[in-house]
Homo-oligomer: A and B are copies of this chain.
Amino acid sequence: MTITITAFKDSPDKGRGQARDMRVRWALEEVGQPYDVRLVSFAEMKEPAHLSLQPFGQIPTYEEGEVDLFESGAIVLHIAERYAGLLPKVPRGRARAIAWMFTALNTVEPPILELENAMFFERDKSWHPQRLPMVEDRIRRRLMTLSERLGDADWLDGAFSAGDLVMVGVLRRLKGSSLLAEQPRLFAYVARGEARPAFERAFAAQLAVFTGKQSVFE
């Protein structure tokens, strides 16, 4: 059965790999599954056809036979359950890899999203210079704990898993900030993730949407 995902027709980050289809592409590359991509414009994302797949009008979505899904975390988990390579087979290892996925999305990402909101919507507000350090400190505390937990290990809980994939995806949102560089272990952890051939293929595929599109305009 063909797997089809959706991604931005007009990349907001110029193909730097921040759009959430990156996590899904990476997971599909790790498990060696080919996939089709349907590109959607910002206008198309708010139309009924897309909203029936993704109620919040976002990307990515995932379609495979009778299954249609949204939310990148859920899609990565679905792929990890369906194809070998991203979840340990022993019950404890499997459950813990999933726990790290939830940690990434519900403990580490929320303060990062708060920083993004501050940078996108509050940058011109009078309070922004004073408030920004508070927001950054919330992230810093999470990163310090995560760094201590990682220690000198390559990955969070044994072999590379869907938990690492999602955590690296979340930490990569900090690429434009110095917060990640403050934590050398996490910086190296993200670099290890990005050095994986599956990541590189996924990144190249996402970038190609942007550069390919540019060439049409040139």
> What is the interface of chain A, defined by CB distance below 8 A to chain B?
55-57, 66-75, 77-78, 91-92, 95-96, 98-99, 101-103, 105-107, 109-110, 113-114, 117, 121-122, 125-127, 130-131, 134, 138, 142, 145-146, 148-149
Q: Chain B contacts of A121 at CB under 8 A?
A: 134
Task: Give me the 7 closest cross-chain CB pairs, A-B, nearest first.
Answer: A127-B127, A74-B99, A71-B102, A73-B102, A55-B149, A74-B102, A110-B110
- Beyond known contacts A56-B142, A73-B105, A74-B101: 8 more, CB 8 A cutoff: A56-B145, A66-B92, A67-B95, A70-B103, A74-B98, A74-B99, A78-B95, A114-B117
State the oligomeric state as a number of copies: 2
Instruction: Note all chain B residues with C-beta closer than 8 A to A102.
Output: 71-74, 77, 105
* Alpha-carbon gap, A146 to B78, bound state (A): 22
Asked if B103 and A105 make an inter-chain contact with CB atoms under 8 angstroms apart, the answer reads no
Contact for A69 among B66, B99, B145, CB less than 8 A: B99
A71 touching B106, Cβ below 8 Å: yes
Q: Which of B101, B109, B146 contacts A110 (CB 8 A)?
A: B109
In chain B, what residue has the closest Cβ to A148?
Answer: B55
Contact of B55 with A67 in the complex, beta carbons under 8 Å = no
Q: What chain B residues lie within 8 Å of A142 (beta carbons)?
A: 56
CB pair A110–B114 under 8 Å, yes or no, is yes
Check B71 against A107 for contact (C-beta < 8 Å): yes
Query: What residues of B have a CB within 8 angstroms of the CB of A130 in the complex?
Result: 125, 127
On chain B, the residues within 8 Å of A55 by CB distance are 145-146, 148-149
Determine the distance from Cα of A75 to Cα of B78 in the docked complex, in whole angstroms: 17
> Looking at A69, A91, A106, which has the most chain B CB atoms within 10 Å of its CB?
A106
Ordered by A's residue number, 11 sampled pairs between the chains whose C-beta atoms are within 8 Å are: A56-B107, A66-B91, A66-B92, A67-B92, A71-B107, A74-B95, A74-B98, A74-B99, A77-B102, A106-B109, A110-B113
- Bound CA span A78–B142, Å: 24
